[in-house]
Structure 1
Amino acid sequence: MNRIQQCEEKFMELFGTTPVKNEGTDPEFMRILQRFIFGEVCYTGKLDNRTRELITITVLAVNQTLPQLKSHVKAGLHVGCTPVEIREVIYQCAPFIGFPKTLNAIAAMNEVYTAQNIPLPLENQETIQDKERYQAGLAVQEPLYGSEIREKYSYLPDEYAEAVPRFLTEFCFGDFYTRKGLNEKERELFIFVLLSALGGADLQVYSHAAGALKSGSTSEDLLAALLHAMPYMGFPRMLNALNSIRPLL
């Protein structure tokens, strides 16, 4: 198949409809967009539709492109992502993009769920009690990252030298990695993409690429994920991420 035929096939798989031909106010631009993303990028690498849509949802949440986020939440449901899986990739954005942007993405997601008659709130995915956040988070963090953060910020005044690594352990790992809905391998891969899309986080991109490899992803998974994310975050951020992870490839 040529890329126009592949675009038509993939568009139907994801959205249950056909791509733009001459409809709308900017059909030329939409043809460029759709044929590139759905006729070429979606056929590069070995990622399945479910993983691709969760990557897309992650990047759109980071970028706060909420109309497109709603479209891809629908597409994710259409190709077999569960409501919980979609919610988890959005929830785990919070330590990296902050609560307000994450709340915006949650609101967009919930609009789709309401329109699809998916009952809210979704089932609880917590697995630990509040008092267990530190130890449970540390049990995930240390095998992947050791005590690097605690050592790196030991130069801070005592209160902050204690608070910074503790907040990271409790909040990022304790509050999110211990949840059900996604496994560790998936969480690390999506966070690697998230940080790549965020920009200005080269050290963290490298660290989470290494974490993704430790969690079971391959270097090909990392490359395929970055390439899939590229149309949504742009070439510069993809190239920066590639440069960051070059020693790991």
Structure 2
Amino acid sequence: MIDQRPEFQTEQFEKGLKIRREVLGDAYVDRSIATADDVSAPLQKLLTEWCWGEIWSRPGLELKLRSVLNLGMIMALNRPAELKLHLRGALNNGLTREEIVEIILQCAIYCGAPASLDAMRTAQAVFAELDAETNAL
């Protein structure tokens, strides 16, 4: 596993890993790390240290607000896989489904109809997955 490699044994990586797990969940982070190979491991290290350890850990914005920003930016960039991931993270960070719908509506005006339609479909799929997971328990 990449987090066992000496170059990953840094304070910044551990700090980022903690926040990444808090937002995205252990299962997702464990899969990302377990599937990292010699090609993708450097990107995993970079993102964990700098995205999560440096930026997401800063005290200036709460995690919930960072999620609001991410949803808007990811929707604008039309990255549905990342949007799906960060929708779950936004819910983990305290956003409600109603707030997420409002974010998508707000972004529809600035990002356009195709982006908002894709984002709403993605949100509906994530909500359905979460409901199915909850009902399975």
- Which TM-score band applies after superposition, normalised by the shorter structure? 0.7 to 0.9
State, as a whole percentage, how many aligned pairs show the same letter. 25
Structure 2 CA distance for aligned equivalents of residues 177 and 195 of structure 1: 16
Match of 2:66 among 187, 212, 217: 187
For 2:105, the equivalent position in structure 1 comes to 227
Count residues with an aligned counterpart.
114
SS in 2 for 1:172: helix
Shift of 1:144: 2.5
5+ residue gaps, structure 1: 1-130
Residue 198 of structure 1 corresponds to which residue in structure 2? 77
Say whether residues 1:243 and 2:126 are aligned partners.
no
Distance 1:192 1:142 in 2: 18
Q: Which has the greater radius of gyration?
A: 1
TM-score by structure 2 length?
A: 0.76
User: Following TM superposition, by how much is the alpha carbon of 1:164 offset from its aligned partner in structure 2, in angstroms?
Assistant: 1.8
Report the Cα distance in structure 2 between the residues aligned to 1:235 and 1:151, rounded to whole angstroms.
Answer: 37
Match of 2:131 in 1: none
CA drift of 1:188 comes to 1.3
How many angstroms apart in 1 are the aligned matches of 2:74 and 2:41? 25
Deviations 1:129-167 (A, max 9, x none): xx6321111110012323232234x3x4x2x34212111
Q: Distance in 1 between matches of 2:33 and 2:68?
A: 23
User: Does the CA-based 8 Å contact 1:219-1:248 persist in structure 2?
Assistant: no
The answer as to 2:16 corresponding to 1:137 is yes
Q: Show CA shifts across 1:188-229 (max 9, x none).
A: 121011101111x11100000000001100001101011011
Name the CA distance, whole Å, in 2 between partners of 1:151 and 1:190: 28
CA RMSD of aligned residues (A): 1.5
How far apart, CA to CA, are the structure 2 residues paired with 1:151 and 1:208? 20
Distance 2:34 2:121 in 1: 26
CA–CA separation in structure 2 for the residues paired with 1:229 and 1:247: 19
Choose which of 22, 47, 71 in structure 2 pairs with 1:168.
47
| Correspondences of 1:64-143 after superposition (within 5 Å) | 132-143=11-22
TM-score (norm 1): 0.43
Equivalent of residue 149 in structure 1, options 32, 42, 61: 32
| Aligned AA (2:113) | F
Using the alignment, how far apart are the partners of 1:138 and 1:183 within structure 2? 17
Cα distance in 1, alignment partners of residues 92 and 34 from structure 2:
21
**C-alpha contact (below 8 Å) 1:197/1:237 kept by paired residues:** yes
CA distance in 2, matches of 1:193, 1:149: 24
For 1:219 and 1:181, locate their aligned partners in 2 and report how far apart those are by CA, in whole Å: 24
SS in 1 for 2:69: helix
Whole-angstrom distance in 2 between the partners of 1:245 and 1:235: 15
